[in-house]
Every structure is written in structure tokens, then in C-alpha cells.
Amino acid sequence: MFRIVINKIMPSATFHFPTGFLWGTSTSAYQVEGNNSNTNWNQWEDIPGKIFENQKSGKACDWWAGRWKEDMDRANATHQNAHRLSIEWSRIQPEINRWDESSLDHYREILQGLRDRGISPIITLHHFTEPMWLSEIGGWENDDIILFFDHYVAKVVEGLKEYCNYWIPINEPNVLAHQAYIEANFPPGKRSLKSAFKALSNMVKAHICAYSTIHRIQPLSRVGTAINYRAFWPENKYNPLDQFMTKTLHQQYNDAYINALRMGKLNFAFKKEKFTKTGSTFDFLGLNYYSGDEVKFNLLKPKDFFHQRTFPKLTEISENGFIANIPSGLENAIHWATKYNRPIIITENGIEDSKDQLRPQYIIEHIHKIWRAANLSVPIKGYFHWTLADNFEWERGWSQRFGLWKLDVVDQTRIKTKSADLFSQICKTNSLSSETINRFCPQIYSKIFPE
């Protein structure tokens, strides 16, 4: 008996990225350094019930004690040419009237270490945490923070300018305003639209000041933002109320901060404010994209401003239900970002997945969308995966694992995942090839190359 086997020829291709594309991972000081005992988050961790199972950041990834070296060796060995990290304000200015020069030296050592490994830094100056002395006098609700932040920024940029020229003054002001002043799961844990507005307004002003301070100290610097973009779609696209709710959420969450920087008008939490802004306020737009939601108008949800959000049906959902794999949302984010006419950097993108099951697919599908945009001449300059090794995930503690390396928090050992090898292959070749897709995630081959 004869059996005829028809060998289908699999299409093959290599998606090349522009020369000089930045490939790396993103981290934040509090989440990796360990023993940051002088911040508002440390205080917050001590309040029972604030963090998942009352877990502690503790040593985190033990970077401050020196493990940044081995992690940067990992980044280097896996062909990453860039890294986004943040500076812990409370280490630089532990008291209102005291600068700690030894901490600046320590950061210089880290940055020199990056340089020795061929890794270019992007520095975030505020990633969710601030010194305790500052939160005690009102944090982002106190107008004085603008000047305090400006002094801190000047101190750091003066001290580190030799090593870095990409700066992000404040990470995800939209997330900080929501979590700290509306959802109440970040310190100071308020539920007040008035406070949320005040905090966001001060972040706009602090950013604008920092922008000109950084440029004064380092004229050729590039100063950008890192916005958390959330994709929203109406649950029923023919329902005007769902459409209205979707637009409102998009405006409040995605647009408000960046529009204030661009046009000098903040429209947020049912309040408006105008700013005097002179000239440009950002040189690149950092996009942190994770996921998106379908939005439904719901009269029974007054506390949620009459809406409810759910992940689109049939999407793959992460381990703890925190993230849905929706690469088309990144496409929306990039499309949205192009209207600001600045280079775009994907400053965060990743998924919590302790078993590294969905992550390879998530990485491939998102990077494929970035390639498509870059190929259509969208000026995308880099991609930073969140994150290198599992880290302390804020109010979710250690329950969510975003690392390319799995971390044992107790003995500090790291285990490389399949995603780390996949990402390494992409970084090494500055491309995503059909061969790589077939090797790491054959099940999505036909999705990327439909017949």
C-alpha cells in the first residue's frame, strides 16, 4: 500500500529590526535592590494587609549588595545591548537636608559595570517610591515636591551624566495616580479624585521642570516619559454607551498625562488645569504595554464609574489572571503614540508566568507587532522586556513572576527560562526569524505566517 505524503513547504522569513535597535530588560530600584528601608513603600509593606500575604521585598534581587553584577553578566551573555533601571531617591537624599554621596558612587559603579558590558542605560528617576521624609509632608499632594524633585534630578543628572543620556523623570504617572489615590493599593492608599488630580498635576509640573533641568545640565540628553498604555475596546461595538465608556477610560488613563505635557492642559478626574509650558517637554515616548480590556457600561457599578472591564473572550490569560495576551493592543498603543511625533521606545512589556508557558508566545507575538510597525517606518528605537529576574511586584508581592530568569528569593539562585534563550536569539540577530519561532513556539507558526 502506498501512502502519499504531501510535504507542505513552510514559508520562511526573517524580520529584521533597524540597525542600532535597543534590546534589553527593564527594572526598578525598589523591586530589585533590596533593603530600601528609607522609602514610603517600606513603611507600606509593614502595614498588615497591604501586600499579598504580607510578603516583604527584603533583599529583592539583592542588587544593592552586588548581585547586579551577575544579572548584568546574564544580560550581556544573552546579547542585550541596553538596560532600563531606576535610581532610588531615598538613597540619594535620605533626609530633607542631606545628600548621600556614597549612594551616587554606588550607582556610578553600576553604570560603569553596564558600560563595561556594552549595555546602554536608560535611567528612570522616580519609579513609584519616594523618601519617607517626603511622604510625611504629603508626597505628590504637596506642591513643594516639584522643587524637591527638581533638586534631586539635578543632583543625580550632574552625578551620572557621564554614563547616561536617556532619562525618564517619572515612571507611569497614570498608574501612580490611579493606584495611590483612587484604587488605594499603593501608598498613601487614598480614595480621592481630588488627591489623584492634585498628584497628577504635580507630576506634570515636576516633569516639565525636570525636562529643562536635565537639558540645562546635559544639552544633548534625551528626556522622555514612560506611560502605561492600556488598550480598551467597547464590549459591544454597536452600543453607544459602551463606546462612550471606552473613550472616557482611554482619555483618562492613556491620554491625560501626555496631553498635558504636549498641550499644557490636564483633563483628569473631572477636573481641568492649564499649564504654562514653553517649548518641548519630551524627546521620546516610552510605552509600557501589558494588556487590554473590553469595556461595558454598567449602571450597577457606580463605584467603578458605571463600567466594568473584562478580558476579550478567547485570549490566553496569565497565571494569576493579571494579563491577557493581546498583541493587537500593542499595535493600538504604537498607533496612538505616533500622533505625538516623537521616537517611541517600548520601555516595558511582559507577562507573569512562573512556569514560562505562555511567555515565549507573548514575546514573539508582541515583538512581531513591533517589527510590523517599524517596517512601516514608525520610529521605534527599542524594546525593554519586563523583566530580567523575578522581582518584587508591589502590592502583589512575590506572587507574580515576570522574570526571564526565575528567582529563588531565599537563596537568591536564578534559573534561566526558555524565554531568556528566545529573547537572546532575537537580541543577538536583531531579528525575529521563522526558524526561531519554530524552535521556541511552533504552535503559533501559522498565526504569524497564515497560509
By CB under 6 A, name the binding residues for ligand BGC: 28, 31, 171-172, 175, 228, 288, 348, 386, 393, 402
Nearer to ligand BGC, 31 or 425 (CB): 31
Nearer to ligand BGC, 42 or 228 (CB): 228
Nearer to ligand BGC, 249 or 437 (CB): 249
Task: Tell the smallest beta-carbon distance from residue 126 to ligand BGC (Å).
Answer: 11
Nearer to ligand BGC, 27 or 425 (CB): 27
Nearer to ligand BGC, 80 or 129 (CB): 129
Task: Tell the smallest beta-carbon distance from residue 65 to ligand BGC (Å).
Answer: 21
Closest to 208 (Cα-Cα) out of 147, 156, 162: 147
Task: Tell the smallest beta-carbon distance from residue 386 to ligand BGC (Å).
Answer: 5
- Output 375-378 pairs: Cβ under 8 A, ≥24 positions apart: 375/15, 378/334, 378/338, 378/344
Nearer to ligand BGC, 39 or 288 (CB): 288
Task: Tell the smallest beta-carbon distance from residue 240 to ligand BGC (Å).
Answer: 31
Give Rg (Cα) of the chain: 22
Task: Tell the smallest beta-carbon distance from residue 158 to ligand BGC (Å).
Answer: 26
**How many whole angstroms separate alpha carbon 441 and alpha carbon 445?**
7
Nearer to ligand BGC, 172 or 353 (CB): 172
What residues pair up with 344 in beta bridges, in sequence order? 285, 380
Task: Tell the smallest beta-carbon distance from residue 26 to ligand BGC (Å).
Answer: 8
